[in-house]
């Protein structure tokens, strides 16, 4: 990290020198923005769902900006490394990044001692995707509803095993929330990704799968899995047969969302330009169609509203954490 920040400082100094000697003010800099390719930091590996969305977005953003948008994958530490790079990037608008909520606002307090960025260093720009949580069982499972599952757990707590994708992730928090609502204790098993968890579900090694809609939708549409609940306010179009948790009397809301952010000190003009571009891309019917095909529900939240959304979520989860930390320290 030390070498990285030193490098960053060098680059910043170099950039400042260029600005001073060129006699450019930030205003004129912003006026012809963008005049070179823009880096888009993806905090997860190439080919993952965040990366897929980023690359499709970049394709449309390039048309709007008239500049290349280069996707740079900086995976590691569940996204943290990428966000450290985003937070430390030059605030000139030529580096933007994707942030995944709730992970991005959770790390600053769950990893308090080691985390390499703070929320003050990142300025959220716009949310694009909100992917609600889904609880699913295999198609030939005896459980038809959440009530069946709760009854089974009350009968024999060891008979139900639910998978999630890592302690403290949105899936795990959703399942914990559900357990609290239903007043039961659940047995969990952790999987490192959607692929292995799906295989375990279809192979009958676990009772239920807690994941995101975009991951489970294909199996549910194929009739290989049955969705017991979707943790959202309303039913989701792609899997309209699946009732919400609320309908069944368990008021649980959970989603993983993906949006864009920039380093905190980006000039307001640049921020506005990027916001306008994001609006145009999100309103583009072709972009919407591609997202729909990937079962990624578009849910735009722009500018200050998104900043507020992230900070609200941060405060809410932090209060939860302080009451009952889900990670042992």
Partner 1 sequence: MDVLLPALGNVLTPMALLTLFLGTLAGMTIGSLPGLSSTMGVALCIPITFNMPPDLALMLLGAVYVSSVYGGSVTAILLRTPGTDASIATALDGYPLAAAGRGGEALGMATLASLFGGLFSVVVLIAIAPPLSTVALAFGPQEYTVLAIFGLVTIVGVASDRPLKGVLSAAVGLVLACVGLDTFTGMQRFTFGHSELFEGVPLLPVLIGLFSVSQAFNLCVPEGGGVLAGKGQQLKGRRLPLWHDIRRSLRTLLRSSVIGSVVGILPGAGTSIASFISYSEARRHSPTPERFGKGELEGVAASESANNAVTGGTLIPTLTLGIPGNAVTAVFVGGLTIHGMIPGPSLFTQHAETTYTLILSLFLANILFAVLGLWLCRYLVVVTKVPGAVLGPMILVFSVIGTYALRNEVFDVWLAVAFGVVGFFMERWRYPAAPLVIALILGPILEVNFRRSMQISHWDLTTFFTRPLSLTLCLLVVLALAYPLWNQWRRRHSSVQH
Partner 2 sequence: MTLDTIDRCVAVLVGALCAAAVVTGLGMPGDAGVFPVITGTLGLLASAGIALGTLRGRAPDDLPPSLPWPRFLLWCLCVLGLLGLMVTAGAFVALPLFLLASLRWLGHLRWPAALAIAVVFSAVIYVVFVYLLSVPLPAGWLVA
Residues near partner 2 (CB under 8 A) are: 3, 6-7, 10-11, 14, 39, 70, 72, 328
Question: Which residues in 218-237 contact partner 1 (CB under 8 A)?
Answer: 218-219, 222, 224
If the CB atoms of residues 3 and 21 are measured against partner 2, the closer one turns out to be: 3
CB of 206 to partner 1, least distance (A): 7
Single out the residue of 29, 200, 264, 320 in contact with partner 1 (rule: CB under 8 A).
200
Dihedral sign computed on CA atoms, order 306, 309, 311, 313? negative
Select the binding partner of residue 19 from partner 2, partner 1, none (C-beta < 5 to 8 A, by kind).
none
Single out the residue of 112, 196, 233, 272 in contact with partner 1 (rule: CB under 8 A).
196
Single out the residue of 114, 241, 322, 324 in contact with partner 1 (rule: CB under 8 A).
114
Spell out a b/e string for 265-303, using b for 16 or more CB atoms within 10 Å of the CB, else e.
ebbeebbebbbebbeebbeeeebeebbeebbbbebbbbb
d(CA 144, CA 140): 10
Strands (E), 31-75: 38-42, 69-73
Contact between 110 and partner 1 by CB under 8 A: the answer reads: yes
d(CA 124, CA 264): 8
Question: Which residues in 258-317 contact partner 1 (CB under 8 A)?
Answer: 290, 293-295
d(CA 243, CA 70): 40
If the CB atoms of residues 224 and 246 are measured against partner 1, the closer one turns out to be: 224
Select the binding partner of residue 14 from partner 2, partner 1, none (C-beta < 5 to 8 A, by kind).
partner 2
In sequence order, the β-bridge partners of residue 136 are 209, 227
CB of 85 to partner 2, least distance (A): 11
Cis peptide bond N-terminal to 309, omega within 30 = no
CB of 97 to partner 2, least distance (A): 14
Select the binding partner of residue 240 from partner 1, partner 2, none (C-beta < 5 to 8 A, by kind).
none
Give, as one character, the DSSP assignment of residue 157: G
Paired tokens of 203 = 């192979």
Question: Which residues in 48-67 contact partner 1 (CB under 8 A)?
Answer: 48-49, 51-52, 55-56, 59
d(CA 239, CA 297): 11
How far are the Cα atoms of 47, 154, 164, 225 from residue 175, in angstroms, in the given order?
27, 16, 8, 18
Select the binding partner of residue 6 from partner 1, partner 2, none (C-beta < 5 to 8 A, by kind).
partner 2
Using CB under 8 A as the criterion, which residues of the chain lie in contact with partner 1 when the complex forms?
1, 3-4, 45-49, 51-52, 55-56, 59, 71-78, 80-81, 84, 110, 113-116, 158, 161, 165-168, 187-193, 195-196, 198-200, 202-206, 218-219, 222, 224, 290, 293-295, 326-329
């Amino acid at each position: 990290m030390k070498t990285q920040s030193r490098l960053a400082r060098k680059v910043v100094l170099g950039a400042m020198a260029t600005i001073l000697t060129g006699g450019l003010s930030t205003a004129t800099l912003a006026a012809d923005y963008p005049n070179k390719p823009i880096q888009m930091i993806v905090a997860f590996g190439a080919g993952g769902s965040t990366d897929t969305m980023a690359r499709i977005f970049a394709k449309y953003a390039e048309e709007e900006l008239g500049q290349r948008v280069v996707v740079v994958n900086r995976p590691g530490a569940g996204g943290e490394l990428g966000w450290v790079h985003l937070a430390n990037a030059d605030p000139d608008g030529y580096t933007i990044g994707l942030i995944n909520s709730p992970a991005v606002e959770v790390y600053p307090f769950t990893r308090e001692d080691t985390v390499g960025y703070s929320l003050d260093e990142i300025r959220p720009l716009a949310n694009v995707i909100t992917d609600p949580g889904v609880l699913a069982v295999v198609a030939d499972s005896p459980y038809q509803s959440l009530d069946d599952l709760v009854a089974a757990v009350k009968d024999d707590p060891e008979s139900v095993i639910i998978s999630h994708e890592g302690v403290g992730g949105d899936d795990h928090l959703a399942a914990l929330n559900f357990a609290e609502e239903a007043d039961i204790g659940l047995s969990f098993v952790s999987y490192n990704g959607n692929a292995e968890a799906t295989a375990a579900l279809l192979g009958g090694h676990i009772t239920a799968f807690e994941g995101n809609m975009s991951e489970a939708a294909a199996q549910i549409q194929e009739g290989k899995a049955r969705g017991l609940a979707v943790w959202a306010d309303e039913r989701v179009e792609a899997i309209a047969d699946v009732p919400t948790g609320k309908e069944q009397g368990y008021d649980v809301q959970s989603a993983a969302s993906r949006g864009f952010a920039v380093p905190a000190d980006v000039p307001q003009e640049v921020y506005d330009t990027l916001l306008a571009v994001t609006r145009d891309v999100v309103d583009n019917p072709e972009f919407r169609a591609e997202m729909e095909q990937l079962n990624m529900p578009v849910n735009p939240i722009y500018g200050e509203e998104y900043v507020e959304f992230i900070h609200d979520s941060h405060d809410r989860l932090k209060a939860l954490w302080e009451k009952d930390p889900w990670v042992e320290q």
